[in-house]
């Protein structure tokens, strides 16, 4: 078992916090955030000491109809510039590019002509070659890159080790442990974190974690990974994210002991914006249906439908899902 890095009285300078509110939260409202929300979120991240702010996806307009989504599904550089200007700050801008859903050769231009600093390439274990190709392109364009292997709870250990080796040999700066279904427990997160760290240490690369809250373990899993050396930590305001949501930014910043992180700006943002989103009908956060898909290690789409239909027949839902 890997030794714990630091304790509750100390902080590690290598930790970097990534705000994924717009990108993961955008899955709850089809990315329809107004500019005031985005500007205030940018200011909040600056004031709170967060290192990276993810603005959304670089989705292809050939595959997704722009009339059905807000602009942060596509993250045009001009739209980001309208929020951050020249971004003469320590906060870095990032976007996510999904394998198979991004026209990266057309839409990801030279870093010198873009407000984006980091491109996070999202892939499943079976599309690793395409992910490596995207990472190589983005690195050549001058960006920082990460490889986010989704649905890791479904991956075989041998395949995962091979994927980590591919990432290690690529230009990627970091690899992400992604608990897409919110099905993993802290002990499993620790074991996977140790595997990721061991593989990435060979290549001098970082490891990050992106957790989902189906079993109310997103925060626990994030700090468990952090305790053994994972250093890029994803969180969202009030946990806003697909289905059960993510590790809450207010929890994470309340836990981290680095004095650079400030909690009051986040709390003010919650007061001003997050309650209103819920009042307007945007849904996210732990519910029993998400617990059940998490327990069964399943994609939460069935639980999302269950919730939208305002069903409460949890036992029937569970039995139906368990038979698939």
- Mean pLDDT, rounded, for 180-185: 98
Of 314, 297, 298, 296, nearest to 306 (Cα)? 314
Q: What is the pLDDT of residue 256?
A: 96
Q: Please answer whether residues 175 and 207 qualify as being in contact, where contact means their C-beta atoms are separated by less than 8 angstroms.
A: yes
The mean pLDDT value of the chain amounts to 97
Q: Please answer whether residues 223 and 214 qualify as being in contact, where contact means their C-beta atoms are separated by less than 8 angstroms.
A: no
Q: What is the pLDDT of residue 212?
A: 98
The answer to whether residue 76 scores a pLDDT higher than 70 is yes
pLDDT per residue as tens digits for the range 20-49: 999 999 999 999 999 999 999 999 999 999
Q: What is the pLDDT of residue 7?
A: 82
Q: What is the pLDDT of residue 324?
A: 61
Q: Please answer whether residues 247 and 235 qualify as being in contact, where contact means their C-beta atoms are separated by less than 8 angstroms.
A: yes
pLDDT-derived band at 322, boundaries 50, 70, 90: confident
CB count, 10 Å around CB of 146?
27
Sign of CA dihedral 31, 34, 35, 40: negative
- Mean pLDDT, rounded, for 70-79: 98
- Mean pLDDT, rounded, for 84-92: 97
Cα(151)–Cα(286) distance, integer angstroms = 19
Q: What is the pLDDT of residue 271?
A: 97
Q: What is the pLDDT of residue 306?
A: 96
pLDDT per residue as tens digits for the range 106-150: 999 999 999 999 999 999 999 999 999 999 999 999 999 999 999
pLDDT per residue as tens digits for the range 218-272: 999 999 999 999 999 999 999 999 999 999 999 999 999 999 999 999 999 999 9
Q: What is the pLDDT of residue 1?
A: 73
- Mean pLDDT, rounded, for 7-30: 94
Q: Please provide the DSSP assignment of 191-246 as one string.
A: HHHHHHHHHHHTTT-EEEEEEB-TTS-HHHHHHHHHHHT--EEEEBGGG--STT-B
Q: What is the pLDDT of residue 4?
A: 85
Cα(114)–Cα(230) distance, integer angstroms = 29
Q: What is the pLDDT of residue 23?
A: 98
Cα(220)–Cα(20) distance, integer angstroms = 18
CA distances from 7 to 76, 223, 234, 249, 263 (A): 41, 11, 20, 20, 20
- CA angle 240-122-99, nearest 5°? 130
CA distances from 4 to 17, 61, 230, 257 (A): 19, 45, 11, 15
pLDDT-derived band at 10, boundaries 50, 70, 90: confident
Task: Report the percent of the chain where pLDDT is more than 70.
Answer: 100
Cα(225)–Cα(223) distance, integer angstroms = 5
Q: What is the pLDDT of residue 9?
A: 79
pLDDT per residue as tens digits for the range 145-167: 999 999 999 999 999 999 999 99
* Adjacent-strand bridge partners of 98: 122
Q: What is the pLDDT of residue 85?
A: 97
pTM exceeds 0.95 for this model? yes
């Amino acid at each position: 078992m890997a030794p714990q890095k630091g304790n509750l009285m100390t902080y590690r300078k290598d930790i970097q916090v990534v705000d994924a509110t717009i990108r993961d939260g955008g899955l709850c409202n089809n990315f329809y955030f107004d500019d005031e929300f985005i500007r205030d979120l940018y200011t909040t991240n600056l004031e709170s000491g967060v290192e990276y702010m993810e603005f959304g996806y670089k989705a292809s307009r050939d595959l997704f109809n722009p009339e059905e989504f807000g602009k942060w599904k596509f993250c045009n550089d001009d739209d980001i510039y309208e929020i951050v200007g020249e971004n003469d700050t320590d906060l870095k801008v990032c976007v996510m590019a999904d394998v198979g859903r991004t026209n990266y050769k057309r839409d990801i231009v030279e870093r010198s002509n873009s407000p984006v600093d980091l491109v996070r390439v999202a892939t499943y274990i079976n599309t690793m070659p395409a992910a490596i190709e995207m990472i190589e392109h983005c690195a050549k364009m001058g960006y920082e890159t990460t490889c986010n292997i989704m649905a890791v709870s479904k991956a075989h250990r041998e395949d995962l080790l091979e994927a980590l080796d591919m990432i290690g040999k690529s230009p990627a700066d970091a690899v992400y442990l992604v608990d897409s279904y919110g099905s993993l427990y802290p002990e499993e997160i620790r074991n996977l974190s140790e595997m990721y760290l061991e593989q990435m240490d060979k290549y001098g690369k970082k490891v990050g974690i992106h957790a989902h809250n189906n079993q109310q373990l997103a925060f626990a899993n994030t700090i468990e990974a952090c305790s053994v050396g994972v250093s890029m930590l994803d969180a969202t305001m009030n946990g806003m994210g697909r289905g059960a949501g993510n590790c809450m930014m207010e929890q994470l910043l309340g836990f981290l002991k680095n004095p650079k992180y400030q909690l009051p700006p986040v709390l003010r943002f919650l007061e001003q914006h997050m309650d209103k989103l819920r009042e307007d009908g945007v849904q996210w956060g732990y519910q029993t249906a998400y617990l059940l898909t998490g327990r069964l290690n399943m994609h939460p789409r069935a639980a999302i439908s269950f919730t939208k239909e305002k069903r409460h027949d949890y036992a029937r839902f569970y039995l139906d899902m368990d038979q698939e």
